[in-house]
Amino acid sequence: MATYIIRRLLLVPILLFGVTLIIFGMLQFLGPVERSALYVRDFPKNDKQIQGIIRKYGLDRPVYEQYWRWLVGVKDPGSGNREGGVLYGDFGYSRTASQPVIDIIKNRFPNTLDLALWAVFPMLAVGIWLGVQAAVHQNGWIDQAARVFSIIGTSFPTFVFGLLVLIIFYANWQWFPPGKMSDWVSQLIFSGQFTQYTKLLTIDALLNGRLDVFLDAMRHMFLPILTLSYINWATFVRVTRSSMLETLRMDYVTTARAKGLKEKDVINKHARPNAMISITTLAGFSVVGLLGGVVITETVFNYPGIGQAAANAASNLDVVTVLGFAVFNGLILIVANLIVDVLYGFIDPRVRLS
């Protein structure tokens, strides 16, 4: 197990290097004026200022040197403060949102986390349940239904599905509004009578004992959760079904049946736990994908997470900001992939031995 973990840890710097290199490569499409947003808040006003910034932050130096400066930042000779440096969490300034990129992330990441937290349960539970049922009743009606369901699911673009549920549940019936909270909730938070322990609205509501706030948050999150689940169910059903079918063909399942075990026990105690192993990876990656901010879903439902911020910045062509989100996302993904892989090693002994 130790060698397996060490091997995976050795991969982290390689991934980190590759991911930052690709993002840094994209920065090279920009001129020095746009790139100066990495270090200074305002647009440089005249040529002299531009020259000064280029010289101060080395924007005319060789590319490898700029890459290093971009990673760890520049020491200001006067004050001795570090400026820039994405590895320290300084992603530059968002000139379209007029605040540092890291502040946008700090404000919005809790919202994304809140949404991800509640989307995971229906996504996993229903997807896996349906996949297992489809495999157990192979070619039966539930299998065919699951198949149709998953084809429709993979063909429905997220934003079309999102807009359709908005027409039905919001525009027509006014049940589930877009956004994050009603006006009275934001007033309550603003008034200071609502303590923000974790910044996750649903958790805070429960900690404050305010069930009405919790229900309001849920009402706003219902449609995004529905959309995210629906889009992901298709993949889960397909993978669970094929993994389950494969497991049901194994000799130990035949043995269990030959011993005279009840079919229910064969499936629930022998087949399903083994089929779950290959689904763990998929589940891990889906959760990680949710954490990275779901760009389209958050945009459709006007949910203030980091995905929506990234989409806004991109449509305003504020590239430095979007690249900041990309670095943040890349760091999350690398760490989370490591965790998923290590967990996988614990669950499945075959992985760590091979």
Partner 1 sequence: MTAASAPTGDNTLLREALPERKIGRVERFLGPENYRIVTGLLKTPASIIGFVLIGFFILVAVFAPVIAPPVGNDPYKIPRDGFSGEPKPMGSEWKRNKPEIPFWYKAVTGKEEWVHILGTAQGQYDIFYGMVWGTRTAFRTGFIVVISTFLIGIIVGSISAYYGGIVDNIIMRIVDIFMTLPFILMALIMAAVLTPVIGKSLIPSIIALISFGWMGYARIIRGDILSVKERDFVLAARVVGVRPSRILFRHVLPNAIFPTLVLASLAIGDVVLSFAALSFLGIGTQVGYADWGQILSFSRNWITSLQNYWYIVVWPGLILVLFVMGWNLVGDAMRDVLDPRMRGKS
* Site for partner 1, rule CB under 8 A: 14-15, 18-19, 22-23, 26, 29-30, 147, 151-152, 154-160, 163-164, 166-167, 170-172, 178, 246, 289, 292-293, 295-296, 299-300, 302, 307, 310-311, 313-315, 317-319, 322-323, 325-326, 329-330, 333-334, 337
d(CA 123, CA 111): 18
Q: What is the DSSP letter of 180?
A: S
Closest contact distance (angstroms) between CB of 308 and partner 1 is 10
Closest contact distance (angstroms) between CB of 231 and partner 1 is 11
* H or E element at residue 120: helix 101-136
**Pick 221 or 311: Cβ nearer partner 1:** 311
**Pick 49 or 302: Cβ nearer partner 1:** 302
The residues pairing with 94 across neighbouring beta strands, listed in sequence order, are 99
Residue 216 corresponds to which tokens in the numbers above? 């309001």
Closest contact distance (angstroms) between CB of 327 and partner 1 is 11
Closest contact distance (angstroms) between CB of 183 and partner 1 is 15
DSSP 3-state of 182: coil
**Pick 150 or 229: Cβ nearer partner 1:** 150
Residue 100 corresponds to which tokens in the numbers above? 């540092």
In sequence order, what DSSP letters do the residues of 29-91 get, joined into one string? TS-HHHHGGGT-SSPP-SHHHHHHHHHHHTTTS-HHHHHHHHHH-EE-TTT--EE--GGGT--
Phi/psi for 136 (5° steps) reads -65, -40
**Pick 207 or 351: Cβ nearer partner 1:** 351
**Pick 64 or 173: Cβ nearer partner 1:** 173
Closest contact distance (angstroms) between CB of 175 and partner 1 is 13
